[in-house]
Structures are given as structure tokens and as C-alpha cells.
């Protein structure tokens, strides 16, 4: 009982340790995936923001450089320096004319002072004048070939200083806000910039994108792009000076999960590998513990059975010897011979038990001498039946032979294979309630002979059938001594059959009986 409790305690402790280690590993894997996904999202957002800023800057630079090319420095004004830029665009598509002008006026004043001799103070007043004019329903000239394309004209008056660039940004926002998005940025540019920025962040998986205008899809997108809630990354496009934007760039990654797992594949593989090793080690240790426990129990039963088997003949021999020493018996030759015969039979019985144990031990060590020669299977069966025929008849049973096989010659050891048949018949006799009823049949296949030993005994359940050929194993029906034997007979049968390149199996049903089948190759 104490051993059983210790065993259960060890199993519980090992199970708790295994569950704890696996839980830690799973938690670590989950955190690694989460951290990698967060890093992925941070890199994507940074890349999208960079792409948005770069496209906005590129658009402004194109606008600015177009203006700068038209600049030619004018005459320097003495009293006031006037810088004026005029941009005019005639849009035939919208049937309107857009005119933008900006002036920066500088007025210089020289004021004498009474505090300094021969000196004066210079004051400069700077102010800006901006004007935007949009004329709709403009009457436009048309050529014979159709409507003239939009016309752009640039007029530069005075000086265009570098500092004035900042004044153009607000007006640039007003101008570009009137353009459709596909004229402001192309699919090629977005694809190129996104790929470069993502690659710089170490992200090399495929992506899809699309620009939306206040929730509505525009022409700028890749393939059949559809934004997905919770799966798409968004960044505003073409934001004005106040940060407001009518366009949003959405990007999705169809293979995001696979990419994240692939990025930490080696770590995950190692972790899973170590978890499997831990599980296998635990399973192996648990299996060995259970097996050792079973072996210990089987050996204990074997010792108990062996003791019981030896006590009976020893007690019988002692009684016979005491009887012979009796003066009334020692003079009776007939009684003395009967007791002597009894002693010899019991001694032979004990010797047979010892031989069974030694035979199995030699089989385990491959030390058993097996001399194969050509023998007839039917002859072996008839010899084996003679060994147990008296015992069967004494119990009122029978052994019926149906030897239908035509090819019966095999290579086998006469002695050991006869013992195989005897052990199978002995097993059928021991596990039959009342008179044993045994049928032995033979038949042929193309290259084999099949021997079947069928009884109508107590039968076996499935769990017993799996273990019946194991050494020391015996099915019990209550008291462990209710069936004589050591659980060695069928183990011996299996070993000998395997040595002869054969197969043995059992089919049984509880309460109906068992059928043992041996399949051996013919010569």
C-alpha cells in the first residue's frame, strides 16, 4: 500500500512539473509572437508616415521648382521692393479659371534722430498681399479637334526670395486640394516608396494598398484592394498646415501571420523541440515506472505461485516419507512402491517447473539450443495429444483432430515444437470449467500451414489478450492460486514460434472460449 502511494505521489509531482514547464514555454512563445507583432505594427506605421511625408514633400517640391524656373530677377526698386508671383490655370474639364497672386511689399523709412549727430535710423515695414480668383463658366476657345487641354501660365515680377517659399505652402494646399488624387500621386510611386521603406525596416512580405477619400475608394489602389477593420494600417495623405486631410492611405499584409511566425521560426522550432523532448522524457519515465510496477507485481505473483506449486509436492513427499517410515507400511511392499511412485511423480513435477523457468531464462538470453530438421506437423500434434490425453479423459473431456492440411512438412525442432503444442493444450485444459472440449485443426495457404487450437473454456477479454503472451502473466479470477502455473507456458510458445519464423495469435470471447492460431512457413 505504501509503495502504491509513493508511486502515485511521484506521478503527480512529475505531472505538475511537466505542466508547469509546458505552461512557461507556451507563455513565452505567446509573448514572443505578441512582441514581434507589436514591433511589426510599429515599423509599418513608421514606414507609412514616412511615405506620406515624402509624397507630400515631393509634390510641394515639384510645385516650387516649376515656379522657380520661371523666376528672373527684376530691377531693384529703391523706395519699395515688390515681389509678386501670379499663377493662372485654365481648367477646361471643370470649365473654370484659377488665378493666384501673392505680393510681398517692403517699405523703407529713414528717420533722423536728435540723439545722434550725423546719423539716422532705418525702419522697414513688410506686409503681404494675397489674392485668389476663381472664375467659373468661363467661355473657352475650342479647336477643331476638341477641347484644349488645361493651360498653365506663370508670371514673375520682381525678386523671388528663398524666404518666400514658406508663404507658398498655404496657397499650395488650396491649389492641390482642387486636384483629383490620381493626378497627385501614382500607383507606381506608392508601390516603390512603400517597398523601399518597408524593406528598410526589415519587412519583406507582400502588401496591398488603397487610397480612400473620406471612406470612399479612389482609383489609386493595388488590384482588388479592400480595407479590413482591425487588419489594415492607415495614415493620412496630403494633410494641410492644420493637419486636416481628406485622403487616407490603407495598407494590408495578406501573409502577416505567416511572416511573423516565419520571423521567429527558429526560436519557435527550438521551443517546440524542447517541449517534445520534455514530454517524451516524461512519458518514458512514466512508462518505465508503470512497467517496473507491473513487473514487480508479476514477480511477486510468480514467487507466490512458485511457492504454492512447490509446497504441494514437498508436502506430499514428506507425507509419503512419513508413511513409509511407519512400521505397519514399511513391511507392505505394495504400499511402499505406491508411495515411492508418488514421491517420484511429485519430484518430476517440481523438476518440470524448474525446467520451465530455466528454459524461459535461456530463451531470453538466446542460449536455448534449437536444432531444426524436417518434421511432419501432424506427427508433432499426435505426440503432443498423447501427453495430455489421459488428463483430458480423466476430466471427462475430449480432443478432436481435424487435420485437413495436405502439405505438412516444416523445419522445426522436434522437442521444442512438441512442447509448444503441449503448452497450448495444457492452457486450454487449465482454463476450461468442467470437462475440457478441445478442437485441433490444420489447413494450408499458399506457403504456410496453419494450426488452430480451439477450446470452450472461460475465454478472455481484450485487455487479457494483449498480455497473454507476456512472461509471468496469468489471468486470475479471484484468488491468485485458483489456476496452477507460472505464466510461462504461452511466453515460451511465442518465443519458439518466432524462432521458427512463424506467427502466433489468439482470438477469444469471455465465457465462450479461445482459439490460438500458429502460422508456420512450409519447406
- The domains of the chain are located at 72-159, 283-365, 369-521
| Residue-level pLDDT at 20 | 84
| Residue-level pLDDT at 324 | 84
CATH class of 283-365: mainly alpha
Question: What is the tens place of the pLDDT at every residue in 221-279?
Answer: 887 788 877 788 999 988 877 778 888 999 999 888 888 888 888 887 888 888 888 88
- What is the rounded CA–CA span in Å between residue 397 and residue 239? 104
Question: What is the tens place of the pLDDT at every residue in 465-490?
Answer: 888 887 767 665 444 444 455 566 78
Closest by CA to 437, choosing from 382, 483, 396, 490, is 396
Question: What is the tens place of the pLDDT at every residue in 422-480?
Answer: 889 988 988 888 899 999 999 999 899 999 999 999 988 888 888 888 776 766 544 44
| Residue-level pLDDT at 486 | 52
| Residue-level pLDDT at 503 | 94
Closest by CA to 217, choosing from 230, 232, 206, 239, is 232
Question: What is the tens place of the pLDDT at every residue in 134-146?
Answer: 555 544 444 434 4
For the entire predicted model, the pTM comes to 0.44
- Half-sphere exposure of 232 toward its Cβ, with a 13 Å CA cutoff? 16
- What is the rounded CA–CA span in Å between residue 428 and residue 515? 9
Question: What is the tens place of the pLDDT at every residue in 333-366?
Answer: 888 888 888 888 778 767 767 776 776 666 666 6
Closest by CA to 102, choosing from 124, 80, 76, 132, is 132
- What is the rounded CA–CA span in Å between residue 47 and residue 203? 10
* Fold for the domain defined by 369-521: Heat Shock Protein 90 (3.30.565)
Instruction: Assess whether pLDDT exceeds 80 at residue 396.
Output: yes
Question: What is the tens place of the pLDDT at every residue in 184-210?
Answer: 888 999 999 999 999 998 888 889 999
Please check whether residue 444 is in contact with residue 406, taking contact to mean a CB–CB distance below 8 angstroms.
yes
Instruction: Assess whether pLDDT exceeds 60 at residue 69.
Output: no
Amino acid at each position: 500500500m505504501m509503495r502504491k502511494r509513493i508511486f502515485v505521489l511521484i506521478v503527480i509531482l512529475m505531472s505538475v512539473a511537466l505542466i508547469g514547464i509546458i505552461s512557461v514555454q507556451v507563455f513565452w512563445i505567446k509573448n514572443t509572437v505578441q512582441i514581434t507583432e507589436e514591433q511589426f505594427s510599429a515599423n509599418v506605421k513608421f514606414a507609412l508616415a514616412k511615405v506620406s511625408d515624402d509624397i507630400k514633400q515631393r509634390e510641394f517640391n515639384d510645385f516650387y521648382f516649376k515656379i522657380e524656373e520661371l523666376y528672373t530677377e527684376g530691377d531693384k526698386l529703391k523706395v519699395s521692393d515688390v515681389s509678386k508671383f501670379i499663377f493662372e490655370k485654365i481648367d477646361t474639364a471643370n470649365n473654370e479659371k484659377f488665378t493666384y497672386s501673392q505680393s510681398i511689399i517692403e517699405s523703407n523709412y529713414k528717420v533722423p534722430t536728435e540723439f545722434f549727430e550725423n546719423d539716422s535710423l532705418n525702419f522697414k515695414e513688410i506686409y503681404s498681399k494675397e489674392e485668389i480668383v476663381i472664375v467659373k463658366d468661363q467661355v473657352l476657345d475650342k479647336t477643331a479637334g476638341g477641347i484644349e487641354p488645361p493651360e498653365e501660365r506663370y508670371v514673375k515680377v520682381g525678386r523671388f526670395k528663398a524666404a518666400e517659399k514658406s508663404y507658398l505652402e498655404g496657397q499650395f494646399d488650396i491649389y492641390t486640394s482642387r486636384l483629383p488624387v490620381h493626378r497627385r500621386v501614382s500607383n507606381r510611386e506608392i508601390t516603390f516608396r512603400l517597398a523601399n521603406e518597408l524593406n528598410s525596416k526589415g519587412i519583406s512580405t507582400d502588401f496591398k494598398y488603397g487610397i480612400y477619400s473620406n471612406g470612399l475608394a479612389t482609383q489609386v489602389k493595388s488590384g482588388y484592394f479592400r480595407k479590413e477593420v482591425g487588419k489594415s494600417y492607415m495614415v493620412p495623405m496630403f494633410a494641410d498646415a492644420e493637419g486636416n486631410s481628406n485622403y487616407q492611405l490603407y495598407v494590408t499584409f495578406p501573409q502577416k501571420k505567416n511572416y511573423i511566425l516565419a520571423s521567429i521560426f527558429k526560436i519557435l522550432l527550438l521551443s517546440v523541440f524542447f517541449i517534445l523532448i520534455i514530454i517524451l522524457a516524461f512519458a518514458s519515465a512514466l512508462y518505465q515506472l508503470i512497467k517496473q510496477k507491473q513487473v514487480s507485481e508479476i514477480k511477486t505473483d510468480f514467487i507466490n505461485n512458485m511457492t504454492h506449486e512447490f509446497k504441494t509436492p514437498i508436502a506430499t513427499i514428506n507425507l509419503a516419507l512419513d508413511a513409509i517410515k511407519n512400521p505397519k507400511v514399511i513391511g507392505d511392499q505394495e504400499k511402499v512402491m505406491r508411495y515411492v511412485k508418488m514421491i517420484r511423480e511429485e519430484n518430476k513435477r517440481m523438476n518440470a517447473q524448474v525446467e520451465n523457468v530455466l528454459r524461459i531464462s535461456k530463451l531470453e538470453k538466446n542460449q536455448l539450443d534449437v536444432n531444426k530438421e524436417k518434421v511432419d506437423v501432424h506427427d508433432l500434434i499426435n505426440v503432443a495429444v498423447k501427453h495430455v490425453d489421459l488428463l483430458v479423459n480423466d476430466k471427462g473431456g475430449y480432443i478432436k483432430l481435424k487435420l485437413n492440411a495436405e502439405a505438412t512438412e516444416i523445419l522445426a525442432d522436434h522437442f521444442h515444437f512438441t512442447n509448444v503444442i503441449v503448452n497450448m493444450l495444457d492452457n486450454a485444459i487449465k482454463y476450461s470449467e468442467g470437462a475440457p472440449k478441445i478442437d485441433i485443426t490444420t489447413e494450408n495457404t499458399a506457403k504456410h500451414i496453419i494450426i488452430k487450437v480451439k477450446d470452450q473454456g472461460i475465454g478472455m477479454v481484450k485487455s487479457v489478450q494483449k498480455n497473454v503472451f507476456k512472461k509471468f502473466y496469468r489471468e486470475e479470477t479471484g484468488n491468485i492460486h485458483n489456476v496452477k502455473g507460472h505464466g510461462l507456458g504461452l511466453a515460451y510458445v511465442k518465443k519458439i514460434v518466432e524462432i521458427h519464423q512463424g506467427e502466433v495469435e489468439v482470438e477469444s470471447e469471455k465465457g465462450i472460449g479461445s482459439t490460438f492460431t500458429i502460422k508456420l512457413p512450409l519447406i
